[in-house]
Structure 1
Amino acid sequence: MATIRKLRGRWQAQVRRRGMKPRCKSFDSKLEAEKWARELEAQVDRFGAAPDTKVLENTTLGELLERYQREVSPTKRGSVQEIQRIDVLRRHELAYRTMIGLSQQDIASFRDERLRSVAPSTAVRELAILSHVIEVAIRDWGLPLSRNVVKLVRRPVIRNERSRRLTGDEEQRLLDACAGGKIPFFKTLIILAIETGMRRGEILGLQWCDISHNRRVISLKMTKNGSGREVPLSPRAFDALTEWKTRADPDQPRVFPMAPGSLEQAWYRLLTRAEVTELRFHDLRHEGVSRLFERGLNVIEVSSISGHKELRMLKRYTHLSADDLVGRLG
Structure 2
Amino acid sequence: MATISKRKRKDGSVAYTAQIRIMRKGQKTHSEAKTFPKKAMAEEWAKRRELELMSPGGLLTAKWRGVTLDDAIERYLHEFAQGAGRSKRATIQQLQRFPIAQVQVTDLTSEQIVGHAVMRRDSGIKPSTINQDITWLGIILKTAAAAWKMPVELNEFESAKVLLRSKGLISRPGSRDRRPTTEEIEQLRAYFRRSQRIRPSAIIPMEDIMDFAIASSRRQEEITRLIWTDLDEQAMTCWVRDAKHPRQKWGNHKRFKLTREAMAIIQRQPRAQGEKKIFPYNGKSIGTRWRAACAACGIEDLRFHDLRHEATSRLFEAGYEIVEVQQFTLHESWDILKRYTHLDPSNVKLK
Aligned-pair CA distance for 1:223: 1.5
Whichever residue aligns with residue 180 of structure 1, its letter is R
Match in the other structure for 1:135:
142
* 1:8-50 deviation digits (Å, cap 9, x = unpaired): xxxxxxxxxxxxxxxxxxxxxxxxxxxxxxxxxxxxxxxx935
* Partner secondary structure for residue 219 of structure 1: strand
Give the number of aligned pairs: 278
Match in the other structure for 2:268:
243
Among 132, 149, 157, the residue aligned to 2:171: 157
Among 285, 293, 318, the residue aligned to 1:295: 318
Write the distance in 1 (CA, Å) between the matches of 2:296 and 2:99: 45
Contact 1:229–1:305 at 8 Å: present in 2 too?
no
Sequence identity percentage: 25
Match in the other structure for 1:179:
193
Whichever residue aligns with residue 64 of structure 1, its letter is A
| TM-score (normalizing by structure 1) | 0.73
Write the distance in 1 (CA, Å) between the matches of 2:244 and 2:91: 18
Match in the other structure for 1:101:
107
Aligned-pair CA distance for 1:129: 2.1
* 1:150-178 deviation digits (Å, cap 9, x = unpaired): 33323521334232333344434433432
User: Which of the pair has more CA radius of gyration?
Assistant: 2
RMSD: 2.8
Write the distance in 2 (CA, Å) between the matches of 1:210 and 1:176: 32
Q: Residues 160 and 264 (structure 1 numbering): CA distance in 2 closer, same or farther, change over 3 Å?
A: farther
| TM-score (normalizing by structure 2) | 0.69
Write the distance in 2 (CA, Å) between the matches of 1:274 and 1:83: 31
Which runs of no fewer than 5 residues in structure 2 stay unpaired?
Answer: 1-54, 197-202
Write the distance in 2 (CA, Å) between the matches of 1:324 and 1:160: 25
* 1:284-305 deviation digits (Å, cap 9, x = unpaired): 1111000111122222222342
Contact 2:225–2:241 at 8 Å: present in 1 too?
no
Write the distance in 2 (CA, Å) between the matches of 1:274 and 1:184: 18
Match in the other structure for 1:206:
226
Which fold has the larger relative contact order, with Cα–Cα distance below 8 Å and residues 6 or more apart in sequence?
1
Aligned-pair CA distance for 1:264: 2.8
Contact 1:131–1:148 at 8 Å: present in 2 too?
no
Match in the other structure for 2:79:
71
Which runs of no fewer than 5 residues in structure 1 stay unpaired?
Answer: 1-47
Whichever residue aligns with residue 136 of structure 2, its letter is I
Contact 2:68–2:102 at 8 Å: present in 1 too?
yes
Contact 1:51–1:144 at 8 Å: present in 2 too?
no
Residue 328 (structure 1) aligned with residue 350 (structure 2): yes
* Partner secondary structure for residue 244 of structure 1: coil
Contact 1:164–1:279 at 8 Å: present in 2 too?
yes
Write the distance in 2 (CA, Å) between the matches of 1:99 and 1:164: 41
Q: Residues 90 and 173 (structure 1 numbering): CA distance in 2 closer, same or farther, change over 3 Å?
A: closer
Write the distance in 2 (CA, Å) between the matches of 1:195 and 1:94: 46
Superposed counterparts of 1:1-330, under 5 Å: 49-52=56-59, 53-74=61-82, 77-78=83-84, 80-115=86-121, 116=123, 118=125, 120-152=127-159, 153=161, 154=164, 156-182=170-196, 183-225=203-245, 226=248, 227-245=252-270, 248-271=271-294, 276-325=299-348, 327-329=349-351
Judge which range, 236-245 or 92-101, deviates more. Answer: 92-101
Write the distance in 1 (CA, Å) between the matches of 2:204 and 2:212: 14
